[in-house]
A and B are shown apart, each in its own frame.
Chain A
Amino acid sequence: MSNPVIRTEELCKAFGQLKVLKGISVEIAKGEVVAIIGPSGCGKSTLLRCLNLLETPTSGRVFFQEQEITAPGTNISRVRQDVGMVFQHFHLFPHMTVLKNITYAPIKIEKVPSEEAKDRAMDLLRKVGLAEKADVYPSRLSGGQKQRVAIARALAMRPEVILFDEPTSALDPEMVTEVLEVMRELALSGMTMAIVTHEMGFAREVANRVWFLNEGLLAEDSPPDEFFHNPKHDRAKQFLEKML
């Protein structure tokens, strides 16, 4: 097996007195889809946000393709070009059209010629089913459409891995499906993904592994079949009873 795409060592994160992560060591292999689940406040999102250093860990180390990105002097902007992220609230740039949202980073950061970036963006928009929205501003889109554009924006940088932070939690129920559909396609295409989610059905169907976090610790790390049928941890059992 090749090197993990992302690996952490004894990752801790505290906000003041509040210890959110208490030493987490995990790794994600290439092509793996990891679902990160757990009760609210267990540190799922914090863990995810530590993986591209949107949160700075209090201690412990994070590696991307075996390069330690928590080391001082790391060019974190360069690393983030290869680590995409999709947010609960989309965070599209409101002053740019859909197309501009997607081409902005490739043109400005990756220095892709603008014609090429535009072609790439249109391909992605077709994939997420929004080619006809290329020239509208995000304010004209529904939540589901915004999230699909956000996924296309992350993909435009051709990342090695994409981090999803509760991508469907802010959506009306009828829009959840369209976003999950796009994510399912993406998983099938072999993209490495880490997904913080409450969609148990989706996790069960799409993920290769499930991380169950409880009180800042990794309580369980199993394949979905095993986790959903036979959870080892008591807290996981309780959690699943409530969710399913």
Chain B
Amino acid sequence: MNRLIASYKSLINMRRFSILSRFRRGFPRTAKFLHLRWPLLIQTILVVGLIGGVVGPNLTASVAQEVPKQLTMLTSPDYPPYGYYITSGQDRKIVGFDIDIANTIARELGFELKVGESDFNGLIPALQAKRADFVMAGMTPTPERQKNVDFSEIYYEAKDTIVAPKTSNLKTKEDLKGKTVGVQLGSIQEGNAKKIAEKVEGLKIKQLNKVPDLIQEIKAKRIDAAIIEDTVAKGFTTSNPDLGFSVVPPEGPAGSAIAFPKGSPLVGPFNQVIQKMKTNGELEKLVSKWFSQTIAADGSTTTAAPAPEATTAPAPQAGLNLDFRRIIPDIPFILAGIPVTLVFTLSSVLLGLVWGAALSLLKISKIKPLEWFSFLYTSIFRGTPLLLQLALVYYATPQLTGYNITPYQAGVLTFTLNSGAYMSETIRAGIQAVDKGQSEAAMSLGVPYALMMWDVIMPQALKNILPALVNETIGLLKDSSLVSTIGVVEVLRASQIVGANKYIYFEPLLFAGVIYYLLVMGLTYAASALERRLRRSE
């Protein structure tokens, strides 16, 4: 029995090269497949069958003797109390209801749990790209999602609410007639809102990336209301007393389940543990731990705040009502994003410079295919959005190469490839602006081409283009905030996380803005010092 479980576990561990995934990819090539891969199919059926039969009550005991294997879980940690960051102090830790459940299941099955993160609408692509073994993010198993991933059974059922200004009196679905309603992009509430829109006349839907964005849109009066899950709504309305929420009856499928890549052998074992947690009351304990309480500013949990209806809400005021004291405990968490942003930017700039220099040499090489390659490359990377390139590199690399690229690596790679394209043009212009006599003088001394480029031409070219390179660096520094979309916790994402935890918006964003500004100023100063130094020869 032990041996069988061990082989099943190693199968999961090798998932990228696994028989299962090869089986699926190979499927369309039927003729060849039928001849060559039948044994694999039989193995697969055997393994799946074994898992069904083997994983039972004695599983915990059996696997305890094995070396613990790792399971990777992805979540979108901007969704308290399901999953969010503890942001006071520099310890970056994702906690929440989902994390507790995942830990319990992993422990029961004898795995070690690794928690990664992504934007909510990037979670399912990540599963399809096999970047993770499963996803928990308060996700509801809709038929659309079930086409792309497999789900466990429901572990918690949430209710939808309408969040709106208290003065607005929007309480029922019918009240939303002719109103604009905000939902989180890719969330279950988005689907529910569409169903409501079919019945309620003139309802317009606006999708945004994050729940905090929805709250700000209500306050800015760009939307009339938002449809948000009850526990989340509770937290936000407590922090924003001018808003209130009312629960509405469910619209089709509801409740949260764990998502897995299609055909994952983990579904069965996970369901067994969930069942066990339901029967032995463990799940109930976690529900009351996370949902009957409000998340306090320091990430610890305290007893519930008075219900929003009961709060004596101050009259809605004009202006932003900024209070920076609210983020003081979280400042170290945001500041810890600075080295990430800086190291990220500098490594991208340096690698981009090297790559750009190489491309620029191809462009002036007079070898036609190399020139064409280089110009085609540049036109593609300058002609498509950086955000799109980032998403492609991050999600496609594991599927194309089998290498599970980290968000950070994907970011540096994309930024290097992208800035290399821009820099190659700048450097080419810089090289061509160097007097032709310089290369003739070097050649007449017997200096070979490579050495001439390195010692004579490049230093002069770089000096000419230094201001352009500084601009590129400043651009990259600010664009580095784009990697927040694939879950690198740099300055912007750190501040968004703080905002999500505290149900506030402007303070952390403004704070991040100041950080970026100071970084750019520092960079500008350093660059002008460098420029002065290079000018010594003039």
Cβ-based interface call for B441 (8 A): yes
Give A92 to B437 CA distance when docked, in angstroms.
9
- When the two chains form their complex, are residues B446 and A95 in contact, meaning their CB atoms are under 8 A apart? no
> With A54-B440, A87-B440, A139-B538 as given contacts, are A80 and B445 in contact (CB-CB < 8 Å)?
yes
Give A194 to B200 CA distance when docked, in angstroms.
95
Cβ-based interface call for B53 (8 A): no
- When the two chains form their complex, are residues A93 and B443 in contact, meaning their CB atoms are under 8 A apart? no
Task: Identify A91's interface contact among B435, B448, B459, B463, CB under 8 A.
Answer: B435
- When the two chains form their complex, are residues A109 and B447 in contact, meaning their CB atoms are under 8 A apart? yes
A contact residues around B435 at 8 Å (CB): 91
- When the two chains form their complex, are residues B446 and A81 in contact, meaning their CB atoms are under 8 A apart? yes
Cβ-based interface call for B456 (8 A): yes
> With A94-B460, A95-B537, A108-B451 as given contacts, are A81 and B437 in contact (CB-CB < 8 Å)?
no
Give A185 to B447 CA distance when docked, in angstroms.
27
A contact residues around B463 at 8 Å (CB): 95
> With A54-B440, A91-B440, A91-B441 as given contacts, are A105 and B447 in contact (CB-CB < 8 Å)?
yes
> With A108-B455, A137-B537 as given contacts, are A93 and B446 in contact (CB-CB < 8 Å)?
no
A contact residues around B459 at 8 Å (CB): 95
Cβ-based interface call for A78 (8 A): yes
B contact residues around A139 at 8 Å (CB): 537-538
A contact residues around B437 at 8 Å (CB): 87, 89, 91
User: Which B residue's beta carbon lies closest to that of A92?
Assistant: B441
Cβ-based interface call for A143 (8 A): no
Cβ-based interface call for A167 (8 A): no
B contact residues around A138 at 8 Å (CB): 537
B contact residues around A85 at 8 Å (CB): 440-441, 444
Cβ-based interface call for B536 (8 A): yes
Interface centre among B448, B459, B537, by most A CB within 10 Å?
B537
Cβ-based interface call for A169 (8 A): no
- When the two chains form their complex, are residues B440 and A80 in contact, meaning their CB atoms are under 8 A apart? no
> With A137-B538, A139-B538 as given contacts, are A93 and B444 in contact (CB-CB < 8 Å)?
no
User: Which A residue's beta carbon lies closest to that of B448?
Assistant: A77
Cβ-based interface call for B438 (8 A): yes
Cβ-based interface call for A52 (8 A): yes
Cβ-based interface call for A83 (8 A): yes
Contact indicator per residue, chain A 62-96, by CB within 8 Å of chain B (1) or not (0)? 00000000000000011111111101010111111
- When the two chains form their complex, are residues A153 and B537 in contact, meaning their CB atoms are under 8 A apart? no
> With A77-B448, A87-B437, A93-B438 as given contacts, are A54 and B460 in contact (CB-CB < 8 Å)?
no
Give A185 to B471 CA distance when docked, in angstroms.
52
Q: For window 27-77 of chain A, which residues contact chain B by CB distance below 8 Å?
A: 52, 54, 77
- When the two chains form their complex, are residues B443 and A80 in contact, meaning their CB atoms are under 8 A apart? yes
A contact residues around B537 at 8 Å (CB): 94-96, 137-139
For residue B442, give the distance in angstroms from its CB to the closest CB of chain A.
Answer: 8
Give A83 to B443 CA distance when docked, in angstroms.
11
- When the two chains form their complex, are residues A157 and B460 in contact, meaning their CB atoms are under 8 A apart? no
Give A52 to B444 CA distance when docked, in angstroms.
7
B contact residues around A54 at 8 Å (CB): 440, 443-444
Give A96 to B441 CA distance when docked, in angstroms.
13
Give A75 to B516 CA distance when docked, in angstroms.
53
For residue A90, give the distance in angstroms from its CB to the closest CB of chain B.
Answer: 8
Give A137 to B537 CA distance when docked, in angstroms.
5
> With A93-B456, A108-B455, A137-B536 as given contacts, are A77 and B441 in contact (CB-CB < 8 Å)?
no
Cβ-based interface call for A104 (8 A): yes
A contact residues around B460 at 8 Å (CB): 94-95
- When the two chains form their complex, are residues B455 and A80 in contact, meaning their CB atoms are under 8 A apart? no
Task: Identify A77's interface contact among B447, B456, B534, CB under 8 A.
Answer: B447
User: Which A residue's beta carbon lies closest to that of B435?
Assistant: A91
> With A91-B435, A95-B459 as given contacts, are A80 and B444 in contact (CB-CB < 8 Å)?
yes
B contact residues around A105 at 8 Å (CB): 445-447
Contact indicator per residue, chain B 507-538, by CB within 8 Å of chain A (1) or not (0)? 00000000000000000000000000010111
For residue B538, give the distance in angstroms from its CB to the closest CB of chain A.
Answer: 5
Give A50 to B273 CA distance when docked, in angstroms.
85
Give A163 to B441 CA distance when docked, in angstroms.
12
> With A104-B455, A137-B537, A137-B538 as given contacts, are A93 and B447 in contact (CB-CB < 8 Å)?
no
Give A109 to B451 CA distance when docked, in angstroms.
9
Give A157 to B120 CA distance when docked, in angstroms.
67
Give A91 to B434 CA distance when docked, in angstroms.
11
Give A164 to B441 CA distance when docked, in angstroms.
12
For residue A237, give the distance in angstroms from its CB to the closest CB of chain B.
Answer: 35
Give A109 to B441 CA distance when docked, in angstroms.
14
User: Which A residue's beta carbon lies closest to that of B460?
Assistant: A95
A contact residues around B438 at 8 Å (CB): 91, 93
A contact residues around B443 at 8 Å (CB): 54, 77, 80
User: Which A residue's beta carbon lies closest to that of B454?
Assistant: A108
Give A137 to B446 CA distance when docked, in angstroms.
22
Give A209 to B341 CA distance when docked, in angstroms.
69
Interface centre among B442, B446, B448, B538, by most A CB within 10 Å?
B446
List A residues at the B interface (Cβ < 8 Å).
52, 54, 77-85, 87, 89, 91-96, 104-105, 108-109, 137-139, 150, 153-154, 157, 163
Q: Enumerate 24 A-B pairs (CB-CB under 8 Å) in ascending A order.
A: A54-B443, A77-B447, A77-B448, A80-B443, A80-B446, A81-B445, A83-B444, A85-B440, A87-B440, A91-B435, A91-B437, A92-B441, A93-B438, A94-B460, A94-B537, A95-B459, A108-B455, A109-B445, A109-B451, A150-B441, A154-B444, A154-B445, A157-B446, A163-B444
The list of the 3 closest CB pairs from A to B, nearest first, reads A81-B446, A91-B441, A85-B444
Contacts beyond the supplied A54-B443, A77-B446, A163-B444: 6 A-B pairs with Cβ under 8 Å: A77-B448, A87-B441, A104-B445, A104-B455, A105-B447, A109-B448
